[in-house]
């Protein structure tokens, strides 16, 4: 289970990446688990995890503040 703060963070990232919370988590977990296996496939998955992290960082830099405000407004019942 995710705490409320963790949900907020994943939802914020999801808005930045234009993907659902479960989509974000699935993308991360699938590649992370594959990377944990080691070997050639594991190293490939690790590279994909790091590439995805880079994409996420770019998206947060570009849209993070907007996403944070949007989620906060939804929590207050204000329509964006």
The vertex-56 CA angle with 31 and 73, nearest 5°, equals: 125
For residue 78, the model assigns a pLDDT of 55
Would 55 be classed as within a structural domain?
yes
Q: Could you read off the pLDDT of 19-29 as tens digits, one per residue? A: 999 999 999 99
Binning pLDDT at 50, 70 and 90, where does residue 80 land? very low
Would 26 be classed as within a structural domain?
yes
Would 25 be classed as within a structural domain?
yes
Would 3 be classed as within a structural domain?
no
3-state secondary structure the chain: CCCHHHHHHHHHHHHHHCCCHHHHHHHHHHHHHHHHCCHHHHHHHHHHHHHHHHHHHHHHHHHHHHHHHHHHHHHCCCCC
49 pLDDT exceeds 80? yes
Binning pLDDT at 50, 70 and 90, where does residue 72 land? confident
Would 14 be classed as within a structural domain?
no
Which residue range forms the structural domain that includes residue 64?
A: 20-75
Would 62 be classed as within a structural domain?
yes
Task: Count how many domains the chain has.
Answer: 1
Would 5 be classed as within a structural domain?
no
Would 15 be classed as within a structural domain?
no
Binning pLDDT at 50, 70 and 90, where does residue 76 land? confident
For residue 79, the model assigns a pLDDT of 54
* Residues in Cβ contact with 10 at an 8 Å cutoff, skipping those fewer than 6 apart: 2, 21, 24, 25
For residue 1, the model assigns a pLDDT of 84
């Amino acid at each position: 289970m995710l705490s409320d703060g963790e949900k907020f963070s994943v939802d914020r990232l999801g808005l930045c990446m234009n993907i659902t919370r479960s989509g974000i988590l699935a993308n991360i977990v699938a590649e992370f688990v594959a990377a944990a296996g080691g070997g050639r496939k594991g190293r490939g998955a690790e590279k994909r995890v790091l590439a995805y992290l880079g994409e996420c960082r770019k998206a947060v830099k570009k849209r993070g503040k907007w996403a944070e405000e949007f989620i906060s407004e939804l929590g207050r019942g204000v329509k964006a």
